């Protein structure tokens, strides 16, 4: 593992006492230039993990608590009258940052959710008749509660597709929860966390991910898996080409995270659920069952040796 990545991982784990593999997922998503959706019940550390990551990076960080009455302009910005000049000036919203924590994204209505779409896809914002680019790196970490919770607006498929990964933290082990009760990291250690990675370091790591070698046989493996999801009678909506691209990029990031400049089959397999489960719609099942269906499909696709 690269020393820069190891230092970032260690810094986050100072305050996030949940499963370390969740931290690994978050870092890989960042390295792959993707956006991350953290979905789980309240109180398991979603916001803590996202905030710990942001504070570990020497970047601009903005947190937005999304609510049912929030408008798109509350995220993107709005023109206001400058009384001195008599002109309207655009006041930038919280989306003009490097790391955006969109907390409880499915508590806000679809119009406001969709305001994030262009920014996540194009790294640009269209408002007041003009398009404004966002400074790289631009990383959205959104948290959401399960759809069964009261007052939630399920994200549409095209919005979900903009997230490279969706992760679920789960409940901590007994030992992890005991440490959590003892240390109370959100009330102490989180405030003392300092940045350990500079902007240029992160951009350099992201460029290195692009150079990780993905053998032709592995490209064909990803394509075969994507096609298998489209042909399966257990899947109503299969993996899109964008989803296949995301799986390939996540595999590259995982390879570099593990200290390699080439991808192995396990790098692909390791990312299938996090990258693909939120992009497909099982036939006749709840969305939570996508994991089991994808595992069965993956098992039926021949892996390169």
CATH number, position 248? 1.10.8.80
pLDDT band at 102, cuts 50/70/90? very high
Q: Are strands 87-92 and 77-82 parallel, antiparallel or unpaired?
A: antiparallel
Verify that 150 and 265 share a domain, yes or no. no
Query: Around Cβ 17, how many Cβ atoms within 10 Å?
Result: 22
Q: Please check whether residues 139 and 265 belong to one and the same domain.
A: no
- Which residue range is the domain that position 266 belongs to? 212-299
The rounded mean pLDDT for the chain is 89
Q: Say yes or no: 199 and 217 in one domain.
A: no
Per-residue pLDDT band for 254 (boundaries 50, 70, 90) equals very high
Residue 30 is encoded by which pair of tokens? 């960042």
The DSSP code for 296 is H
User: Taking a C-beta distance cutoff of 8 angstroms, is the pair 267, 254 a contact?
Assistant: yes
Tell me phi and psi for residue 282, to 5 degrees. Answer: -65, 150
Residue 97: CB atoms within 10 Å: 21
The predicted structure's pLDDT at residue 149: 58
Report the interhelical angle of 3-12 vs 199-210 (nearest 10°).
120
**CA nearest to 254, candidates 272, 237, 270, 234:** 270
What's the pLDDT score for residue 153?
76
Q: Predicted confidence band at 48 (pLDDT cuts at 50, 70, 90)?
A: confident
Q: Residue 84: its pLDDT value, please?
A: 77
Is residue 304 situated within a structural domain?
A: no
9: which DSSP letter? H
Regarding whether 105 and 166 lie in a shared domain, the answer is: yes
What is the Cα–Cα distance from 53 to 9, expressed in whole angstroms? 9
Among 6-15, 124-133, 188-197, 278-287, name the one with the lowest average pLDDT.
278-287
Asked whether residue 33 carries a pLDDT value surpassing 80, the answer given is yes
- Whether 219 and 199 map to the same domain: the answer is no
Token match 């966002």: residue? Answer: 134
Domain boundary among 155, 172, 204: 204
Sign (positive or negative) of CA dihedral 31, 123, 103, 39: negative
Judge whether 43 lies within some domain. yes
Residues 8 and 123 in one domain: yes
- Do residues 175 and 236 both lie within one domain? no
200 belongs to a structural domain: yes
Between residues 304 and 117, which one has the greater pLDDT?
Answer: 304
Position 275 pLDDT exceeds 80: yes
In a domain, 258, yes or no: yes
User: Could you say which of 144, 173, 204 is where a domain stops?
Assistant: 204
Across residues 6-29, what is the average pLDDT?
Answer: 93
Higher pLDDT, 170 or 24: 24
Q: How many domains does the chain have?
A: 2
Q: Does residue 305 sit within a domain?
A: no
Task: Compute the average pLDDT of residues 79-104.
Answer: 86
Examine the domain organization and report whether 132 and 278 are in the same domain.
no
Contacts of 143 (CB under 8 A, 6+ apart): 37, 38, 39, 46, 47, 50, 101, 102, 103, 104, 105
Does the structure show a pLDDT above 70 at 147?
no
Tell me: do 64 and 151 sit in the same domain: yes
Q: How far is CA 185 from the centre of its chain?
A: 23
Q: Which of the listed residues 184, 204, 224 is the one where a domain comes to its end?
A: 204
Q: Tell me if 23 is assigned to some domain.
A: yes
**pLDDT above 70 for 55:** yes
- Scanning 13-141, the segments in alpha helix (DSSP H) are 20-31, 46-55, 72-76, 110-122
Q: Which residue has the tokens 């990545």?
A: 5
Supply φ then ψ for residue 48, to 5 degrees.
Answer: -60, -45
DSSP bridge pairs for 140: 100
Q: Which residues contact 265 (CB under 8 A, 6 or more apart)?
A: 218, 221, 303, 304
């Amino acid at each position: 593992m690269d020393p820069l990545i190891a230092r970032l991982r260690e810094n986050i784990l100072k305050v996030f006492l949940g499963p370390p593999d969740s931290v690994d997922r978050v870092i890989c998503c960042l390295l792959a230039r993707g956006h991350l959706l953290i979905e789980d019940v309240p109180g398991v550390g979603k916001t803590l993990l996202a905030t710990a990551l942001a504070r570990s990076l020497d970047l601009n960080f903005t947190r937005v608590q999304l609510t049912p009455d929030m408008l798109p302009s509350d995220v993107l910005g709005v023109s206001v009258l400058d009384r001195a000049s008599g002109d309207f000036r655009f006041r930038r919203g919280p989306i003009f940052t490097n790391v955006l924590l969109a907390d409880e994204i499915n508590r806000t209505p679809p119009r406001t959710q969709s305001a994030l779409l262009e920014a996540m896809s194009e790294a640009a914002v269209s408002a007041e008749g003009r398009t404004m680019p966002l400074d790289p790196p631009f990383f959205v970490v959104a948290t959401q509660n399960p759809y069964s919770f009261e007052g939630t607006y399920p994200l549409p498929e095209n919005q979900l597709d903009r997230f490279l990964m969706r992760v679920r933290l789960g409940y901590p082990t007994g030992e992890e929860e005991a440490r959590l009760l003892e240390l109370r990291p959100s009330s102490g250690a989180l405030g003392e966390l300092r940045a350990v990675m500079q902007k240029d370091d992160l951009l350099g790591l992201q460029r290195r991910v692009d150079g990780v070698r993905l053998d032709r046989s592995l490209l064909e493996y990803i394509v075969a898996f994507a096609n298998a999801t489209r042909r399966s009678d257990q899947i109503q909506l299969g993996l899109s080409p964008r989803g296949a691209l995301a799986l390939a990029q996540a595999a590259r990031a995982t390879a570099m995270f593990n200290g390699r400049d080439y991808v192995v089959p396990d790098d692909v397999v390791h990312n299938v659920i996090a990258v693909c489960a939120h992009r497909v719609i099982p036939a006749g099942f709840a969305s939570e069952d996508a994991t089991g269906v994808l595992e069965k499909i993956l098992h039926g696709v021949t892996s390169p040796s």
